[in-house]
Structure 1
Amino acid sequence: MPFKMIKNTTRSNFNHDEDQKAGKVNRELGRYGVDIAALIETRLPGTGQLIESGGGYTFFWSGRSNEERREAGVGFAIKNHLVGKLDNIPEGVNDRLMTLKLQLQLSKKTFATIISAYAPTMTNPSATKDKFYEDLEAIVSSVPQTDKLLLLGDFNARVGKDHQAWSGIIGHHGIGNCNGNCLLLLKTCATYGLTLTNTMFRLPTRNKTSWRYPRSKHWHMIDYLIVTVKDKQDVLATKALCGADCWTDHRLIFSKIRLQIKPKRRPQAQKVAKRMNVNKLKLPEVQEELQTTLTRQLSELESNN
């Protein structure tokens, strides 16, 4: 059976009471059986990692320095048993992009690149938005075509439901209308052959939308799991979870994907200890032979001394 990895997009602020909040996120991710989660708007300074005491996850983040105003921040929460399989820890590009690279079982040179992304909001200047997509496209364009690519995050873009105009990018189950950020995201998807998996599945509206506008109270789809078109058959489900509580005004986006992760290679000098078959000791002839051998060796030792 292929390894099933679950990807999530969630917003989690660790800027106050980090341990308490990390513990709550830890419990929620464990409750839903999440293996890897993308964390958005962490607002933590610099880059670092945190292992929640008694929990099952290691948190990695990328943000601005202490001297700068921290409005964004991205990261990953990875199950501890998967952290041991990583050749390299997640790499922070800036406070809006972080990458994680996993070697797959397919071959020695095949990887999955996972990107945790937090796009600028509608109120950000155009220069900020353009810079984000320039950085994002630089990462996407560097991923070999043989590798798998997964983008997880809050793109602050409502893409609507016009699947005919954006064939292969928007599925048949989109929702709502576009906003001013949608073209930036859709053009990037069109350029690099990406598809929005949130629009692939027929679901109730509550399991499609992820964020409620504070004034109108309307729910919108702005958090996505995006993959290459060639890999969309590996996505088994993508939906919003209404019951997850992670100190956030966004719903958790839950996706199940077929991936086979290659175990971390042991150092060549390290040998695996052989297991002894003790069941044979129950046989009388084996017991007799062992006793004879031990008696002879003890006699030889006494003679040498």
Structure 2
Amino acid sequence: MRNRNGVGLDNEEKKRFWEDLDEMVRGVPSNEKFFIEGNFNGYIGSSLRGYDDVHGDYRLGVRNVEGVVLLDFSRAFRLVVVNLNFPKKEVHLVTFCSFVFKTQIDFLLLRKGDRDICKNYKVLSSESLSTQHTFLAMDIEIRKE
């Protein structure tokens, strides 16, 4: 799923987005793997503050309301924000860059039990989707049993 939880949406539209995503995730059988990648316009921030079960030690900035919503959603569905679990230089954490600031607003989510299939992720600044966003990719390894 590709999220476009856009800046400037009113609270009702944001609420509808999270309800739709909630319904979609609930519809995925527990034995199936799924990945969510999206621009959540949320800042998770550099502090773990109660969410160490959802993300790792590699993040930027200060948490905002949208970041808290994303972390709460992840916790409720036993998801992990996988691109915060790999040591990277700051330049490889940034998924949005403007003249004013550099930050992480794009995230990769998957079930905690599937965390080990993600081997790495990359921010590919040379593959910019726009002048401010970068391309986010995940390396996965799925073995057929």
Q: Show the counterpart of 2:44.
A: 159
Distance 2:75 2:14 in 1: 18
Q: Show the counterpart of 1:171.
A: 56
Q: Is the 8 A contact 1:120 1:132 kept in 2?
A: no
Q: Return the offset for 1:154.
A: 0.8
Q: Return the offset for 1:188.
A: 0.6
Q: Is the 8 A contact 1:234 1:258 kept in 2?
A: yes
Q: Show the counterpart of 1:206.
A: 91
Distance 1:203 1:227 in 2: 19
Alignment of 1:92-171 (within 5 A): 115-121=1-7, 123-171=8-56
Q: Show the counterpart of 1:224.
A: 107
Q: Is the 8 A contact 1:120 1:128 kept in 2?
A: no
Q: Return the offset for 1:247.
A: 4.2
Q: Show the counterpart of 1:235.
A: 118
SS in structure 2 of the partner of residue 163 of structure 1: coil
Return 5+ residue gaps in structure 1 as ranges: 1-114, 262-305
Q: Is the 8 A contact 2:98 2:132 kept in 1?
A: no
Give aligned-pair identity as a percent: 21
| Code of the aligned partner of 2:25 | V
Give the structure with the higher percent strand: 1
SS in structure 2 of the partner of residue 165 of structure 1: coil
Q: Show the counterpart of 1:250.
A: 133
Distance 1:165 1:138 in 2: 25
Residues 140/212 of structure 1: CA separation in 2 closer, same or farther (3 Å cut): same
Q: Is the 8 A contact 1:207 1:239 kept in 2?
A: yes
Q: Return the offset for 1:182.
A: 1.1
Q: Return the offset for 1:248.
A: 4.2
Distance 1:132 1:259 in 2: 30
Number of aligned pairs?
Answer: 144
Deviations along 1:221-256, one digit per CA (max 9) or x if unpaired, are 001111111111110111311222444420111210
Q: Show the counterpart of 1:259.
A: 142
Return 5+ residue gaps in structure 2 as ranges: none
Distance 2:105 2:137 in 1: 14
* Higher relative contact order, structure no. (Cα contacts within 8 Å, ≥ 6 residues apart): 2
Deviations along 1:6-33, one digit per CA (max 9) or x if unpaired, are xxxxxxxxxxxxxxxxxxxxxxxxxxxx
